[in-house]
Amino acid sequence: MIGRTALITGASGGLGREFARLFATEGFDVALVSRTGAALENLAQELETRQRVAAHVLPIDLSHPGAASALVAELGLRGVSADVLVNGASPRRQGVFVRAREAEVLEFLQVNLATLAHLTRLVLPGMIERGWGRIVNFTSADALRLGSQRALSRAADAFVLSFSLALADELRGTGVRATAVCLPSELVAPSAQGALEARTPVPSAELAEVAAWGFAAVRRGRPLAARGLRWQARAVRTRVLPTSAAARAAARHLP
C-alpha cells in the first residue's frame, strides 16, 4: 500500500483516529481531517514517528457548504490523491426533532448528508481512474431498525446505509468498493468534536478491537459490516424482508 493515501474525516478521536492508525500500519499515508487541529497534530506526529508514513493535517470544519471542495483543493495543492475515504465526521446526535435548534439541525444535515455525499463524489472519479479505492462510511445500528425518537439521527443513519449499499452496487467492476460500518448505537454516537465516540467512556482496548473488526470488513470489501450477531440478523431482515415485515420485527425490539 506504499504510495496510497487514506483521507479520514473525524480523525481527532474515536473510530476515526483508530482507522487512521490501522491504515498507517498498512503503509498508507494519511490525510487527517477534523475541526480540532491540536489533536490532529498529535496523531500526525505519532503516525509519522511510529509508522514512517506521511501525515497531512487538515483542520477543516465540514459543516460549511463549501468544505468538501476546499478540502479536495487543498489536497491537490499538496499533490495528494485520496485512495481511501473514511467518512467519520459528524456533529452531535440529535434528540427530539422539534426541540432541536435550527442551527444544529442545518449543521447536522450538512455534515451527515451533503458534505459526506459531496466529498465522496469528488474523490470517486480518481479512484475509478486508478482502478482501486475504498469508501468507508460509519453509521449506527439505528439504521437497521425502525422506531421513534431521534428522528433526524435515525434518518441520517438510514441515508448513510442506503447510500453505501447502493454505491457499492454501482461500483461493481471498477476496483472501488464501498462499505457501511454499522455499529451498535448503545456503544457509539457522534460527538461534537466530529468523530464517532462513546456515549460513555469506552476502554481504548475495546475501541481498538471494534476498529480492527470494521477495518477487516473494509479490507474484504464487504458492502455492510454489522457489529454483533443480533445486528447482523437485523441487517439481513432489513435487506430481504418486505418493509411491513421488517417494521413489525423491529418494533418488537424498540426501547
Question: Is the predicted pLDDT of residue 248 greater than 60, yes or no?
Answer: no
Lowest mean pLDDT among 28-42, 125-139, 218-232: 218-232
> Predicted confidence band at 228 (pLDDT cuts at 50, 70, 90)?
low
- The parent domain of residue 74 ranges over 5-251
| 66 vs 80: CA distance, rounded Å | 19
User: What's residue 247's pLDDT?
Assistant: 41
**Over 50: is that where the pLDDT of 28 sits?**
yes
Residue 253's pLDDT band, with cuts at 50, 70 and 90, is very low
Residue 186 has pLDDT above 80, yes or no: no
Average pLDDT over residues 78-104: 86
Per the prediction, the chain carries an average pLDDT of: 83
State how many domains the chain has. Answer: 1
Q: Considering only 80-89, 124-133, 240-249, which range has the smallest mean pLDDT?
A: 240-249
Q: Distance of alpha carbon 192 from its chain centroid, rounded?
A: 15
Residue whose C-alpha is closest to residue 226's, from 163, 141, 162: 141
Of 67-71, 188-192, 230-234, the one with minimum mean pLDDT is 188-192
pLDDT tens-place string over residues 114-156: 999 999 999 999 999 999 999 999 988 777 766 656 788 888 8
What's the confidence (pLDDT) of residue 96? 76
Domain of 210, CATH number, reads 3.40.50.720
